Amino acid sequence: MLDIAFAKPAVPKAGALVLLVGEDEAPSGLWQQADLATGGAVARAIAAAAFKGGKGKSVSIPGPGAGLSRIVICGIGKRGDVTERGLEEAGGGIAAQLATETIVAIDAGGMSPAQAASLAMGATLRAYRFDRYRTKEKAEDKPKLAKLTVLADDAAKAKAAYSPLRAVAEGVFLSRDLVSEPPNVLNPAEMADRCKKLTSLGLKVEVLGPKEMAKLGFGALLGVAQGSVNEPRMVVMHWNGAGARKGKQKKLAFVGKGVTFDTGGISIKPAGGMEDMKWDMAGAGTVIGLMAALAGRKAKVDAVGLVGLVENMPSGNAQRPGDVVTSYSGQTIEVINTDAEGRLVLADVLWYCQQKFDPEFMIDLATLTGAIIIGLGDEYAGLFSNNDMLSERLTAAGKETGELLWRMPLSDAYDKQIKSDIADMKNVGGRPGGSITAAQFIQRFVNSKPWAHLDIAGTAWSSKDHPTTPKGATAFGVRLLDRLVAEHYEG
């Protein structure tokens, strides 16, 4: 992780210096000092580039003198319009632009401690890289940025404000690591082992294997798992930071789809792009990262995270189209398409969660349908919920963190599409409204309890860089749900 430090504003002796400039602002303290130290290089560059501080605009001065490798002047737009997310994006942009520098200092003079911390958070999130399996990369090709100092008026307060954010970033990185891992390495057992490591953060972690799940009657989850030689697992992670309020508030519950590889099973997927299905465990990856974040920042809540971990493979022992399975809830399911496996996994884990914990709410995350990508692309995740208040809170937390949600409908009319002729329901409802019928299916395993389902198939992985997310695994949902908890359930 990027080494972040906070210090009083001063022109550094070496490395790169980033000056943040608001639109149409007069030169501030550090800007003038840097200009003086470099014999007017800053003023000259600003004039030559007709730079006015517009958001996203920047001017770079390589070798400006005074021992500095570079000065970058970044516009942040009108001061009054600057949001927390805008500062994160600015920080992320700086980390990307200056990836070849070793040490960077950002001038956050005139900003609040929280704003300085947001800049640091953005830079931290963008500087992530998964390079475990690169053995031959030359040193000069690797990003060099190792240390970033945020120059803040009250450095101690800014550092304190960054501390919980850093814990959240750790959770984001854990999630990104899990999602990035290749599927031969990260099978269900390995994923459960990585969950167990979270006990070091103070989480209680319980792992159930196929025997325990068979005893409970997890027919839906086990039907998916039966085609693979890699055994399934269910992991229950418990963070209890509620302290004195313990027992006064019900547990918050988060449930994730963890299909470590989805071939489609007997209803096998086409070869092109199938490698993407290594990230079909991203819902579980988010839940695990979230639990690490809550524990890491010692959130004052009682929360459980449950993940259903399976591999969906075709084999002589695999589930067939036409099979009927009995879920843990007792409801029977006709499996028309073995590629609609995520909902089968979630059915048993959600029912278990509800029976065992009677939580305040349940929020599940899943890379559930290709149809949500057709509907919303990769900008918004689909939100399905039986509860308006929970939906509003989630949507607001999404706007604040840049992890956007769009609410989709649920209704009995769609539910009819999953009627079966021989069982209580079938696992697919045809192409029309494919993401909605998937959500209707899941809803059958939720009693009237407040529940939200996030279909993250479009947002869990990115083919291009974003301001605070390099391309690849995004950890979508970790920051959003951490924010939801912080804003509404820790009071």
Query: What character string, x for contact with Mn ion (CB under 5 A) and - otherwise, covers 221-260?
Result: ----------------------------------------
Which residue number is nearest to ligand BES in terms of Cβ?
370
Chain residues 282-341 in contact with ligand BES, contact rule CB under 6 A: 337, 339-341
By the rule CB under 5 A, 342 interacts with Zn ion: yes
28 interacts with ligand BES by CB under 6 A: no
Instruction: Print the binding letters for residues 321-350 with Mn ion: x by CB under 5 A, - otherwise.
Output: ------------------x-x---------
In whole angstroms, the minimum distance from the beta carbon of 130 to ligand BES comes to: 19
- Contact string 266-285 vs Zn ion (x = CB under 5 A): --------------x-----
Active-site residue among 79, 194, 269, 300? 269
Active site residue 8: no
Is 444 a residue of the active site? Answer: no
| Residue 434 contacts ligand BES per CB under 6 A | yes
Instruction: Check binding of 428 to ligand BES (CB under 6 A).
Output: yes
CB atoms within 10 A of CB 11: 21
* # binding residues, Mn ion (CB under 5 A): 3
Instruction: Tell me the closest approach of the beta carbon of residue 432 to Zn ion, in angstroms.
Output: 20
Cβ at position 346, least distance to Zn ion in Å:
11
Distances 308 to 90, 192, 193 between C-alpha atoms, Å:
37, 10, 14
- At residue 349's C-alpha, the angle toward residues 431 and 277, to 5°, is 50
Binding to ligand BES by residue 342, rule CB under 6 A?
yes
Question: In whole angstroms, how close is the CB of 378 to Mn ion at the nearest point?
Answer: 18
Please pick, from the candidates 235, 253, 333, 457, the single residue that binds ligand BES as defined by CB under 6 A: 457
For the annotated catalytic residues, the residue numbers are 269, 343
Binding site for ligand BES (CB under 6 A): 262, 276, 280, 337, 339-342, 367, 369-371, 428, 434, 457
Binding site for Mn ion (CB under 5 A): 262, 339, 341
